[in-house]
Amino acid sequence: MGSNWSDRRVVVTGLGCVSSLGHDPDTVWKNVLAGQCGIDRVANFDITGYDCQIAAEVRDFDPVPAFPSAKEVRRTDRFTHFGVYAGWGALKDSGLDLGTVNLDEVGVFIGSGIGGLQTTEEQHKVLLAKGPGRVSPFMIPMLILNMASGMFALYNRMRGPNLATCSACATSNHAIGEAWATIKRGDAAVMFAGGTEATIVPLGMSGFAAMRAMSTRNDDPKHSSRPFDRDRDGFVMGEGGAVLVLEELGHALRRGARIYCEIVGYGNTCDANHMTAPDPEGSGAARAIQMGLRHAGMRPDQIDYVNAHATSTPVGDVCEVNAIKRVFGDHARRLAVSSTKGATGHMLGAAGGIESVICCKAMQDQVVPPTINIDNPDPQCDLDLVPHTPRGHRIDAFLNNSFGFGGHNSIIIGKRFVG
């Protein structure tokens, strides 16, 4: 780290996303506030015979406007379509003119938990049916999970730092946090950061179902994802992408950018507990939150809103509540806490991205989005979970939690920008 690390401030100046609730942040935010749910019966393939038959699919999506040509769309996987489209939306929203900035100082960190699963599945079928000579020469560049990050940079000639984080459902927050650190240490002026995922394919649906991780409330899709509810029975897979534009403050001010918030803290820890199960006491998540607060120079009681990772799994939601109580103590009861996964589904590697977009919109409007489908609150999840309907609430600082298989914990803290 350079000597000026602590002096460089990082703000969010652009938002872009695509999800089951819409293809831009304003539409997604409007639908979240309206209590809409993007989950339905899977339509992209015949789901008959699968244990879990519901998901939050992106419908009526055309990625072509974000790409140089329709040919480029055909040469890339669906997860890349989502990532590039979200980045394109964030670029438009930011008002950044790429013709007037030093593209050596513009970087991209768009991660993915799994990458091109659709391509992997389709090309394996080709191999078995037609032999190795018929496998596509585009197979590898289509499926490797760094391609959303690489192709978005290629299409826009962004030559700064570039990588793809991969930490399961913690992926997007790691991308945003590492982008924040990259700007803080002076290696970039602008970073596009977030995540993308497209795993609603037969292999993805059957694999997660085999783990008994997903809801089987197939007859009631709109109420299947129930974070913090006593009757929750697993997560519901979502797909899509979300990207934020992070910018060094001076760079943003010089071009008169609109500022959504300032990123002030980032936490990154590991449970080192189990391949897929979180630490039951939430100690790893708690240490990540404490790390972020330390970066931010903030007390726990200065956080107003927590966008919880809460995926609607029986174990995970309680572990997160334990982590919040461990860090916030008495203030935990005064926090507004909500999970928006009942609306968007669990977008895996894109989850932290879409939830960071939602946090920025919540701060902008001073409204906490609701946790839908809490009909019977779990007594172990005894926080203010903002059930069913949004609530006007002063938000000067938010915390966004993301936790992933492998014990990964990543958190982001954002504050209202004050010059």
The set of catalytic residues is: 169, 309, 346
Q: How would you write the chain as a 3-class SS string?
A: CCCCHHHCCEEEEEEEEEECCECCHHHHHHHHHCCCCCCEECCCCCCCCCCCCEEECCCCCCCHHHCCCHHHHHCCCHHHHHHHHHHHHHHHHHCCCCCCCCHHHEEEEEECCCCCHHHHHHHHHHHHHHCHHHCCCCHHHHHCCCHHHHHHHHHHCCCCCEECCCECECHHHHHHHHHHHHHHCCCCCEEEEEEEECCCCHHHHHHHHHCCCECCCCCCHHHCCCCCECCCCCECEECEEEEEEEEEHHHHHHCCCCCCEEEEEEEEEECCCCCCCCCCCCHHHHHHHHHHHHHHCCCHHHCCEEECCCCCCHHHHHHHHHHHHHHHHHHHHCCEEECCHHHHCECHHHHHHHHHHHHHHHHHHCEECCECCCCCECCCCCCCCCECCCEECCCCEEEEEEEECCCEEEEEEEECCCC
* CB 232, CB 317: distance < 8 Å: yes
Location of structure tokens 């309907």: 389
CA angle at 32 for the pair 242 and 50, rounded to the nearest 5°: 75
C-beta of residue 400 within 8 angstroms of C-beta of residue 411: yes
Residue 153 near residue 108 (C-beta atoms within 8 A): yes
Those residues whose C-beta lies under 8 Å from the C-beta of residue 34, and which sit 6 or more positions away, are: none
Beta pairing, strands 106-111 & 367-368: unpaired
